Chain A
Amino acid sequence: MLNYSFMQNAFVVGTLIAIVSGFIGVFVVARHMSFLAHTLSEIGFAGASFGLFMGWSPLIGMLMFTILASTTIGELGMREGRSESLISAVSAVAIGLGIAFLALSQKNASAATGILFGSIFSISQQNVLQVVILAVIVLAVGLFFYRQLRHFAFDYNTAIYSLPHVLLIEVLFLVLMAMTVAISSQVVGSLLIFILITLPASAAMRWGRTVWQMIGLAIAFGIFGVWSALALSYWTNVPVSFYIAIIEAGIYFISLINRDE
């Protein structure tokens, strides 16, 4: 299985993405922004099809759209408080745009399913490099600002008074989230983004007692899901995203049973 270069690529990219998603996912869930992460993935869909339309790599289009959107509607949504309607409107526009760009780009349906549901086995060497670089950037910046992000995400009510540059941290957090969404979509597709960002983190946050424990568990759950899914998918020819979804959701459901100390 590991003799094929496409499988090697898939394992490298999948592992890195599980690490990044687990790390950032804990902060996203703590800050109650899972819903925004999901919306960003729909915006990412629009970005990816825009990328195709322009003849770029979908990842580039996705990054552009998600970063732009996260820093604008993310900010708006945080100010508004009740932002469900705003986010629904933005999702609608994003998916509409995505469909339009796809049609205009004259690509076949497999390009669309690749964006929506992931295409880790067909990831190109150049794409692997992009994902690796982006993942390393997100991790490095996340670690560098770990203390600030931790306070910001886990106790927003005091962080806004205690962090000297809280607005900067807010924007940084949104950009990291957008980048994570964009790179994670390479594995699971933009429709299923939350299975790597939200689910492992949510499960980890029911077991972990420190932020590092939560991050460690989230990464472990993510890697376990990705590796098992890649192997299962290789043997059964059923899409990877399906297996990751089932495994991560399964871990989350088990975490719900864990109610006591």
Chain B
Amino acid sequence: MTVLTGENIGIKFGERWLYQHVNFELRDQRVLAVIGDNGVGKTTLIRSILGQQKLTTGQLTWTQPKPTVRYVPQERPDAQDFPLRIAEFVGLSFDQGMRPWRTQKENTQLQHILNDTNLAQMANRRIDRASGGERQRAYLAQALLVNPGVLILDEATANLDNIAKYELMDVVRHYRDHHQLSIIMISHDLEIIQEYADDYLLLKPQGSEFGLVKDLDITQLEAGNQDHA
């Protein structure tokens, strides 16, 4: 089943086309990696998917009913400012309704997510003192708390060491395998993409490509020291 289809997408900033004729599909329970040079407009595409940026041409079509989308942005300055417990930070996602306290059901859900993201042991520790890996898992948990149908990760592994980034992506994969979740990830990390992504969308000003990651021609990305992905 296809969750989101992008057809003939083009985005123009002023007189300059970021890209045109971009086609892709996000399929159910699969991971789509969005790759491309710095500045090509990967985050801009994400913003369109989130409804914050208008497309110049083309359209995005959601499956009906539209799934809940959760975005994990790259920059999270607020998380380092206050000594909230990790569990409380994750619980910020309960932002609907008018009950000033958490219900029993919500507490169960919170505990479930903390377990799934390996944070249960440190749920009472401070978010501003957590390691980079723990913090990324907390961001992930916060996004997953409302049981979204689509999760968008923006460079989630960028500042993590080799162990922490595999740990994070294992959590993502495990969660995906056990829930109705599709994932879009922006990443520069080819190893991570090859290990965890199913499909890729390579954004280029001309001739963007969409396909299966196993068919992705890595040599083209590494050629000429261009650092495409």
Contacts and interface: CB of A to CB of B under 8 A. Distances in A.
B39 to A, nearest CB: 20
Contacts of A143: 98, 100
Contacts of A146: 98, 100
Interface in B71-110: 71-73, 75-79, 81-85, 88-89, 92-101
Interface in B37-79: 50, 52, 69-73, 75-79
B85 A209 contact: yes
A162 B89 contact: no
A158 B143 contact: yes
Interface stretch (A76-84, A147-155, A173-181): A147-155
B136 interface: no
Nearest to A147: B95
Nearest to B85: A209
Given A147-B94, A150-B95, A161 B71 contact: yes
Contacts of B117: none
A37 interface: no
B95 A210 contact: no
B187 interface: no
B70 A211 contact: no
Interface in A137-190: 143-148, 150-152, 154-159, 161-163
Interface in B148-162: none
B139 to A, nearest CB: 8
Given A157-B77, A210-B85, A261-B126, A151 B98 contact: no
A206 interface: yes
A205 B84 CA distance: 9
B142 interface: yes
Nearest to B94: A147
A30 interface: yes
A147 B72 contact: no
Nearest to A150: B92
The A interface, classified by DSSP as helix, strand, loop or mixed, is helix
Contacts of B85: 209-210
Interface residues of B, number: 36
Contacts of A206: 83
Contacts of B92: 150-151, 154-155, 158-159
B74 to A, nearest CB: 9
Interface residues of A, number: 28
A91 B50 CA distance: 37
Given A158-B72, A161-B50, A209 B83 contact: yes
A208 interface: yes
Give the most central of A156, A211, A214: most B CB within 10 Å: A211
A147 B126 contact: no
Nearest to A210: B88
Contact of B78 (A157, A208, A209): A157
B82 A30 contact: yes
Give the most central of B94, B98, B124: most A CB within 10 Å: B98
B151 to A, nearest CB: 12
Contacts of B71: 158, 161
A214 B77 CA distance: 19
A173 B100 CA distance: 16
A73 to B, nearest CB: 22
A261 B83 CA distance: 9
Contacts of B98: 143-147
Interface of A: 30, 143-148, 150-152, 154-159, 161-163, 205-206, 208-212, 214, 261
Given A147-B96, A162-B146, 15 more contacts: A30-B78, A147-B98, A151-B92, A154-B89, A155-B76, A155-B78, A157-B76, A157-B77, A158-B93, A161-B73, A162-B93, A162-B95, A208-B83, A209-B83, A209-B126
8 contacts: A150-B95, A151-B93, A154-B78, A158-B73, A158-B143, A209-B83, A209-B126, A214-B82
Interface of B: 50, 52, 69-73, 75-79, 81-85, 88-89, 92-101, 124, 126, 129, 139, 142-143, 146
Q: Which 9 pairs, one residue from A and one from B, show the smallest C-beta to C-beta distance? A: A151-B95, A146-B100, A210-B88, A209-B85, A161-B71, A151-B92, A147-B95, A155-B92, A157-B73
